[in-house]
Structures are given as C-alpha cells and as structure tokens.
Amino acid sequence: MSTIDFWQIGFFCLALLLATPVLGSYMARVFQGEKHVFSTWGGAIEKLIYRIAFINNSEQMTWKRYASSLLIFNLLGFFVVLFLQIFQSKGPLNPQNLPDLPWALAFNTAVSFVTNTNWQAYAGETTLSYFTQACGLGVQNFLSAATGLSVLLVLIRGIIQRENPLLGNFWVDMTRAVLYLFLPLSILLALILASQGVMQNFASYVEVQTLENLTQILPMGPVASQEAIKQLGSNGGGFFGTNSAHPFENPSALANFFSMLAMMLIPSASLYMFGLLSKARKHAAALYAVIIILFGTMLIFGIYEERQPNNSLGLIENLEGKETRLGVTNSVLWAMTTTATSNGSVNAMLDSFSPLAGGLALLQILLGEIIFGGVGSGLYGLLLFTILAVFLSGLMIGRTPEYLGKKIESPDIQLTLVAILLPCAVVLIGSSISLLVPAARESLLNTGPHGLSEILYAWGSAANNNGSAFAGLNSNTIFYNIMLAIAMILGRFGVIVPVLAIAGNLATKKISPTTQGSFLTHGLTFVLFLLGVILIIGALTFMPALILGPVAEYFLMNLGVSF
C-alpha cells in the first residue's frame, strides 16, 4: 500500500468518528421530540402531515399495534412499486418508451426495495423509466430505511422503559425519520454529488460519436437524487446496471469518498444515539468497539489479499474488474463498507475479487449484517447478539441473565434465536435448493468453488437484505426472482416481528439495580465475549460452506487453477 492509501483510510475513519456524535446527538433530540435545528419550519410541516393523513400523533402503540401498522404500510408500498413496473409503459417520464416489466422481475424488484434489500436483477438504464425509478424505487429508499430505524427505536424504548407496554407511534417515527433526517441529509449529499458530475436531469438519452468514430447512446436521468438516499438509507440500488462503478453515478474520488461516508454515517450515529437514550454510554462504546474490531480486521485482510499475485491469471496485482481511476484500495474499502452496512452498492465487480477478499465480504453479510449494518437493522441485529451473549453468561455463572436491568427470560431468548437463525436457515436451505435444481445451476457463469460462492453470496445477500451480488450469476430467471424475493421477505420481516415482540416483552418488566453479581455489559471482558458469540455462531453455521467455496478456491488459485 502507498502512503496515499493509508491517508485515505485514515481520513475516512476520522471523518466518520467526528461526524458520529454530532449526528447521533441530533437524532436523539429528534426522536425524543426535543427542540432541534429544523424544529421551526419542520414542526409546521409535521403537523400538516398528521392532519392530512388523519394521524393522532399523541397516540401510543403496543408492539402488536406497531407491528400491524408497519406490515400494512409496507404491504401497500409493495403494491405501489409492483404496479408502477407492470404498467410502466403507460406512465409519464419515459422518454425511451421502455416497456412494462415481466411479472416475476417486477415482483422481485418490488419486494427488494420494500425490504431495503435493493437486489437488482436488471440494468436500470435499459429497464426502468425515470418515473418508476424516482417515484417507485426512490420513494421506497426513504420509507424502507425509515422502517428499519423505527424498529430500532421501539427496541430501545422497550429496553429503557419500566412497566410500560406503550412503545411510541409508528406514523410519528416514520414521519420524523424522513422529514428531519433523511430528507435534509439527502438534499445535502445530492448537491455534493451533483457538484462532482453526477447527473440530475429528465432528458432523453443522448447519441454521441466516440473517439473510434462509433455511435454510442449515453443514458440520462435523475441520478444524484437517487444516489443520495441510496447511500444514506443503506439501500444500494443503482440507477445504472453497473451501479457506482458507472462514471455517471460515481465520477470522482470525492464523490466516492462521500458515498462511502454516507453508507456508514447513520448506522454509526444510531449507536451513539442508543447510548444517549439508554443512558448507557459505556455499553454503547463497547458495542462500537466490537464492530470496529470486526470491520477493521475484515478491511485489513481484504486489502492484503487483493494486493497479492493471482497465479491463475498471472496478475501481480488484482485490478481485474476494478475501475483504474479508483484502484485497489478504494475498491476494497467500498466493498467492505457496503457489505458491512447492508448497503449493496458496488464500485467494482465482487466476482473479480480474489477468493479470500470476496469471501470476507461474504462473511460480513453472513454474520447477519451487524457490523454497522443497515439503518436501524444493523443495531437491532447487534442487540440481538448482545441479548444472546448476556443469556449465555447467565448460564455460565448460574444467575438469571439481565440486560441493562431487564431480566432475559425464556420468551425473550426464544424470539432472539428465531431472529438470528432464520436468515441463516434461509441462506443454507436456499443455496442447497439452487444446487439441486437444474434450472438454477444453469444460471451459473462459473463452475467449481467459485460457482458455489456465487450461489451462497446471492442467498446471503437476499436473506440478510444486503442487495449486492457477485455478478457471475444470472438471477433474472423465474426461479431466482421468486425464490430470492421470498428470502428477502423472511430476512426482513421474519426478524422485525420478533424484535418488536422482544421490545414488547422488555417494556413491561421492572428495571433491576446492578449488583456485584451482574454481568457488566462494558469493558474488555464483554467485548471479547460478544465477539466470541458472533464468530462462533457464524463459524458453526457457515464454515463448511465457506471452506468449500472461497477457501477451496484460494488454494486452487495458488496452484494456477481458475474457474
């Protein structure tokens, strides 16, 4: 690595650490209903929204009422996006006269954007109109991110409240998340990206003459606005088929930097907000240490592996599948950032990464997207592992486990295990089915362990709502469109409902004072114990598959064998 590479990574980490407490404090004020920088003008708009939508903003909900509101709202969003695609040719803002989408692809895409997965089995510039992209996918980028953040808020309230089953109002949480958080940040980021050359227009595609005197069609569109919320909301769905490897989406080093920072910003600030709301800053700091250790380890080894010679291709440094204007370090940093944050965007083709670097990106997804993770979903996933770790510690010392003063009982741990293990089961069962069904195997562009990695990555990305792909798998088939959509639904709402139920259980309990026998949820012992729980579950669940995929390919690559 060159000196500039170290400076890039160091400056990125410094910018994230400086921005985290600022945004985290702001988020805490917003969701507690306190005065903040946008209170003056935003308050009037917020009240107007409640009045138009007939929302009683003072009404509090139980977890069941909150869950039903959330599920109905997301179901309606699914139908809106589905209809926009099926009847696309009849809608406005379609200068290229793009046709309606096939039902299976439309179904997959609607599920994908409603579940915050943003898996794309299509190329946006040749498939979707401006209207479908902006009013369908773009709107869901806001709403799906706000949904994840709302679930996190409910879990936090369940942890900190004392014998109170009322956990807030879904409509208020959603409104405040969009109005005060996502909209201002998206406007700011869109202006920054547009200043760097990311396009923002509704013009027809342009025909140009290349230097080789050939004709080429250049796609246009409202890209900057969608890119902003794509990154901030842990969405990842690109306007173009090649995503952020496309120069119209990611034209400069500065645009690349701000895009990566935007992916990390809200998940990082959410943890700071949790520390403020729960009044457990030391615990929040310990959780932050866990994710920093995991992310830093993945990043260091990822960059190291990607800079090793590739004997099977005769490459001294692996630049295959990468933008030369970005280079290896920026490509790996983006890959590790996007798989750590459940974002799913790419600025290089993961299919071309070295086996172990690609395997590390895959491992970050398979661990449950808890290393920063998606907006809201990353932290509530990490808190599930924390509850499990606290429960195991209680078994080890023969004491009723407590988490921040709340006793962890049988129903809590049962729901926790369902939420943690359901995505794991979906990945392994789905991958097995894909290997057994001939039509699914025909979608593979590579054989051997690399082909297994492609299948495992697709199912891991869908079930954990990441959305990125190895790009060596033709997923635009009826089999994958339907099966991966089911995986996205289970991975999203099969976790959200247990999390809300856990919040409801915790909210009705008393808060017990900490004693000498309590397991402290801060300090080195807790950090190492939680790391062990996360890695043991990941190792026991996925290690055989990872050995047969990325690890086997690594050893074969060193023997000069490629797939």
Q: Which pLDDT value is given to residue 471?
A: 77
Place of tokens 């990206």: 193
- The whole-number average pLDDT for the span 550-559 is 88
**Residues 149 and 173 sit within 8 Å (Cβ to Cβ):** yes
**Residues 238 and 244 sit within 8 Å (Cβ to Cβ):** yes
- The whole-number average pLDDT for the span 330-354 is 91
- Given a cut of 80, whether residue 318 has pLDDT beyond it is no
- Given a cut of 70, whether residue 313 has pLDDT beyond it is no
Q: Which pLDDT value is given to residue 517?
A: 65
Among the listed ranges 148-152, 338-342, 348-352, 527-531, which one has the minimum average pLDDT value? Answer: 348-352
Beta-strand runs (E) in 26-179: none
- The whole-number average pLDDT for the span 295-305 is 93
First to last CA, the chain: 28
pLDDT tens for each residue of 417-444: 999 999 999 999 999 999 999 989 988 8
Under the banding of pLDDT at 50, 70 and 90, the label for residue 323 is confident
Place of tokens 């799913």: 344
pLDDT tens for each residue of 239-256: 998 899 999 999 999 999
- Closest residue by Cα to residue 121 from 491, 546, 482, 537: 482
- E strand or H helix at 303, and its extent? helix 281-306
Q: Which pLDDT value is given to residue 242?
A: 87
Distances (CA, A) of 29 to 40, 87, 181: 14, 42, 11
Q: Which pLDDT value is given to residue 1?
A: 67
Q: Which pLDDT value is given to residue 314?
A: 65
- Given a cut of 90, whether residue 524 has pLDDT beyond it is yes
- Given a cut of 90, whether residue 41 has pLDDT beyond it is no
Distances (CA, A) of 526 to 284, 286, 488, 529: 12, 8, 32, 5
Q: Which pLDDT value is given to residue 311?
A: 67
- What is the percent of the chain where pLDDT is above 90? 75
Q: Which pLDDT value is given to residue 432?
A: 95
Under the banding of pLDDT at 50, 70 and 90, the label for residue 237 is confident
**Residues 244 and 347 sit within 8 Å (Cβ to Cβ):** yes
Structural tokens at position 167: 């956990």
Place of tokens 């809200």: 266
**Residues 333 and 260 sit within 8 Å (Cβ to Cβ):** yes
558: amino acid identity, one letter: N
CA dist., res. 488 & res. 466, Å (int): 9
- The whole-number average pLDDT for the span 137-152 is 96
- The whole-number average pLDDT for the span 179-193 is 96
Q: Is 467 left (phi over 0), alpha (psi -120 to 50) or beta?
A: left
Q: Which pLDDT value is given to residue 287?
A: 96
Place of tokens 């490509």: 331
- Given a cut of 90, whether residue 446 has pLDDT beyond it is no
Place of tokens 């290997």: 435
Q: Which pLDDT value is given to residue 540?
A: 85
Q: Which pLDDT value is given to residue 315?
A: 67
Q: Which pLDDT value is given to residue 238?
A: 86
**Residues 363 and 298 sit within 8 Å (Cβ to Cβ):** yes
Q: Which pLDDT value is given to residue 428?
A: 96
- pTM value? 0.94
- The whole-number average pLDDT for the span 83-107 is 94
- Closest residue by Cα to residue 283 from 20, 519, 512: 519
Coil, helix or strand at residue 370 = coil
- The whole-number average pLDDT for the span 157-162 is 94
- Closest residue by Cα to residue 70 from 148, 136, 158, 155: 148
- Given a cut of 90, whether residue 466 has pLDDT beyond it is yes
Q: Which pLDDT value is given to residue 559?
A: 80
Q: Which residues of 450-477 are buried (b: 16+ CB within 10 A; e: fewer)?
A: bbbbbbbbbbbbbbbbbbbbbbbbebbb
Coil, helix or strand at residue 493 = helix
Domain borders along the chain are 3-209+237-278
CA dist., res. 80 & res. 132, Å (int): 10
CA dist., res. 88 & res. 78, Å (int): 15
Around Cβ 100, how many Cβ atoms within 10 Å?
A: 13
Under the banding of pLDDT at 50, 70 and 90, the label for residue 312 is low
Coil, helix or strand at residue 402 = strand
Under the banding of pLDDT at 50, 70 and 90, the label for residue 533 is very high
CA dist., res. 136 & res. 87, Å (int): 12
- Closest residue by Cα to residue 321 from 223, 242, 425: 242
- Given a cut of 80, whether residue 320 has pLDDT beyond it is no
